[in-house]
Structure 1
Amino acid sequence: MAKSDRPKHIFINRYFYPDHSATSQMLTDLAFGLAKNSSNESIHIVTSRQRYDDASARLPAYEVIRNVHIHRVATTRFGRQNLLGRAFDYLSFYLSSFVTLIKLTKSGDTLIAKTDPPMISVIAALVAKLKNAHLVNWLQDLFPEVAAELGVKLASGLPYKLLKAIRNKTLHQAKMNVAIGELMAERLRREGIPNDKITVIHNWADEEQLHPVPHGQNPLRTEWGLQGKFVVGYSGNLGRSHDFATILEAAEALKERDDIVFLLIGGGAQLPQVQQECLEKGLKNVIFKPYQPREKLSESLSVADVHLISLKPELESLIVPSKFYGILAVGRPVIFIGAQDGELAKIIYNNECGKVIKQQDTEQMVTDIIYFFQHSQQNENIREVFESLFSKKNAIAEFGNRLK
């Protein structure tokens, strides 16, 4: 079969390599992995020319990297910080990606729609129907439910019901819907999606790239002045779905301890507010660092002795924080702030890789931090848990089987 005649797997997502976004990195892992492992299908990405952290970036309109064909469409460039501007970015991506998909898709191809921007599955479903192609939804979150829980005004009342009905129609049309957790899969079943159209494939991290780095061999510990400190870390998006009040209260309770510091790496909508609160409370034990390059991720994640993850309980079954998998890959325990019967809580309990606390339970959080301060060497099994459950190799093989 000539290369031009091979069926295509076409992924649609607003961001792609190179990027700081964890879900974009997983798409990168999967696309390159499938391209390496398959000689029967060609792998294509329809994405924007922006970067997650730089709306002004102008990446090439088309290039081939490691046998993956990357089609970058033109969009507006307002960025993530302004909601109205983000809406225009979404709209322009919908229109441009539709035109590109119509030109690219042939009968028998498979369109894999992620969830950035929201409702992109509607565009993919329309093209799949017009072109007699297959549709797969890779659900990193469930919209409009997430927006409704975060108080977005347009995601309420009649608009909410309409958006949800349209979304569900694309789920019914799909050949397969990939949920990233068991609770999300159960929620899809409650929406009436047939069980044979639902599969669970957990998110992952790259076991080849990410590995534990001992403190004595970690240049960032020296560069950031953290030698001899016990570091409580947070790495990733400081977004609206995460609780930082409990974290800052714990930092305030421990601010007289000069041997314990809080390190927040990343950015997001809540970063300015968190920085302002630290300034007002005089929390000199909280250090902020920007997103780190992917090649330094092992070092940046390994700087911490224990990592913090939070998710508002109302968002359980709608989102699973992807930072969790990279933390396990570098062999660090976690303190999860959220629902005690949630997706991550169950994994943590079942595999003894951390602690779970409720929001606003500052006293328990301080207790858990002190526990890990006193037992910082007892983390040997965490990397093994990661390799057996959440490795890139296993996830790519699972996706490959599902996409056949």
Structure 2
Amino acid sequence: MKIILVNRYLYPDQSATSRMTTSLASGLKERGFPVTGLASRDIHNDRSQRLPPEGDLDGIRIHRLWTSAFGRASLYGRALDYLTFHLSAAWWVLRHARRGDICVVCTDPPLLSVTLALPLRLKGARMVNWLHDLFPEVALRLGMSGSARLGKAALRLRDWSLAQAAINVPPTGTMGRFLAARGIPPDKLHVLHHWADAGGIRPVPPEANALRRQWGLEGKFVVGYSGNFGRVHEFETILEAADRLKSRDDIRFLFIGDGHRRAAVETWVRQKQLGNVQFHPLQPSSHLSESLCAADMHLVSLLPPLEPCIIPSKFYGILAAGRPTLFVGDPAGEVASALASGHCGRSVAIGDGAGLADHIQDLAASPEICARMGANARDLFEREYTHMRGCDEWARLMDGLVRTPDSVESEATSPKLAKKRSS
């Protein structure tokens, strides 16, 4: 028996789903499980690199499948990259999976569980769906599906594939309840929250942070946004707040990362001639603590219709870095509820740029409150969202499947799931 983790990106790629899946692979191996990785040969957002067909991570064999490599510049090229990964993954499973294997199928590329359900059944292996995102709901709610009929067909196929799995693992209670309402059997839903690396991300005081000095941020109150500039995130409220605060020489907005909407955000900043905003690329993982701690507080945003479908993974790193969060989105959503219960941040509705600017000014004027919120953030992280805790829970889940496939207790209607918790 082996555990096969399938995601389009794995180590050495540093995208969010790659880091999570690679982290789980390492954690399960440390706990005595035989682990194999299955990925593409690509690096996220970097078409100049193609990885070799085989790789190794501390004894974990990573098989890198051939796919097309059009990249993310066009939807058609991306769709072909997705399709070729689907076909290559199905072929690999038919050739290499064995009876009793457990295949953890992630959601990049979308609908991979649909493609792998029958090959895994034919080989006598069991499928565990790790639902980082929900597709096609994300595409449908962003108006990217192209056809309502096609979207409904994709929903039916996706729901069918979830019903075929031994277990489905959503990262939030909101997503779990949403799937249960769609008719996914409760005994096939088990919520396990995402995490960050407690050792790899540590609070770094401003005076010890080389990046703050390098980027000219000493003596400033820094408002950070770090990670993907994706379609699911909302930036207009953030940019309105930056515009309202442009006369405050002591406040800086720091944008770190890349993605679909970064160019539009940069264009808006140039047009408004905002001297209080600066941009930097994603930093190497070895500098993640300094990168996250370059900000005194962080911004997280999510479009409210996508609350059941996706989770801003940057939230865990912010907690680990011991920084407060200002959330822009549904004030009753998962992240907002976690901030309120953990006393480690505040939330505003989308469109409330004035309210966001007021919160920023309040925290800039109250360093003791900001520091207390940051300490609370790290405390919440250590209680709920560490790599050790997450991998321990996954190991118990895998052990239950190995011992007796029907023994995994559902959490779809349990108090733990019903209670709103952030991820």
Q: How does the TM-score come out when normalised to structure 1?
A: 0.96
Q: Displacement of 1:20 after TM fit? A: 2.3
Q: Distance in 2 between matches of 1:50 and 1:135?
A: 24
Q: 2:353 matched to 1:362?
A: yes
Q: 2:147 matched to 1:160?
A: no
Q: Displacement of 1:227 after TM fit? A: 0.5
Partner of 1:387: 382
Q: Displacement of 1:308 after TM fit? A: 0.2
Which amino acid counterpart does residue 80 of structure 1 have in structure 2?
R
Q: Distance in 2 between matches of 1:202 and 1:103?
A: 32
Q: 2:270 matched to 1:275?
A: no
Contact 2:326 2:346 in 1 (8 A): yes
Which amino acid counterpart does residue 226 of structure 1 have in structure 2?
L
Partner of 1:136: 128
Q: Please state whether the residue corresponding to 2:47 is helix, strand or coil.
A: coil
Which amino acid counterpart does residue 378 of structure 2 have in structure 1?
R
Which amino acid counterpart does residue 371 of structure 1 have in structure 2?
D
1:304-343 aligned at under 5 Å gives the runs: 304-343=295-334
After superposition, what is the alpha-carbon deviation per residue over 1:106-161, rounded to whole angstroms, capped at 9, x for unaligned?
0110111100000111122122111011110000111001000111143x421111
Runs of 4+ in 1 over 6 A off after TM superposition: none
Q: Distance in 1 between matches of 2:21 and 2:388?
A: 13
Q: 2:8 matched to 1:10?
A: no
Unaligned runs of at least 5 residues, structure 1: 1-6
Unaligned runs of at least 5 residues, structure 2: 400-423
Q: Please state whether the residue corresponding to 1:162 is helix, strand or coil.
A: helix
Aligned mate of 2:245, from 248, 254, 257: 254
Q: Distance in 1 between matches of 2:73 and 2:350?
A: 26
Q: Distance in 1 between matches of 2:260 and 2:73?
A: 7
Segment of structure 1 superposing worse, 120-129 or 253-262: 120-129
Q: Distance in 2 between matches of 1:220 and 1:97?
A: 41
Q: Displacement of 1:263 after TM fit? A: 0.3
Partner of 2:192: 201
1:5-404 aligned at under 5 Å gives the runs: 7-38=1-32, 41-154=33-146, 156-376=147-367, 377-378=371-372, 379-404=374-399
Contact 1:56 1:77 in 2 (8 A): no
Q: Displacement of 1:399 after TM fit? A: 0.5
Q: How large is the RMSD of aligned CA atoms in angstroms?
A: 0.9
Q: Distance in 1 between matches of 2:65 and 2:145?
A: 29
Q: Please state whether the residue corresponding to 1:295 is helix, strand or coil.
A: helix
Partner of 1:3: none
Q: Distance in 1 between matches of 2:395 and 2:365?
A: 43
Q: Distance in 1 between matches of 2:339 and 2:256?
A: 22
Figure out how many residues of one structure are paired with residues of the other and give that number.
395
Structure possessing the higher relative contact order (Cα contacts under 8 Å, 6 or more residues apart): 2
The share of aligned pairs that are identical, in percent, is: 45
Q: Please state whether the residue corresponding to 2:50 is helix, strand or coil.
A: coil
Partner of 2:411: none
Q: Displacement of 1:42 after TM fit? A: 1.5
Distance 1:102 1:56, change over 3 A: farther
Q: Displacement of 1:81 after TM fit? A: 2.3
After superposition, what is the alpha-carbon deviation per residue over 1:328-377, rounded to whole angstroms, capped at 9, x for unaligned?
00100000000011111111111111001000101110111012112233
Q: Please state whether the residue corresponding to 2:24 is helix, strand or coil.
A: helix
Q: Distance in 1 between matches of 2:86 and 2:230?
A: 24
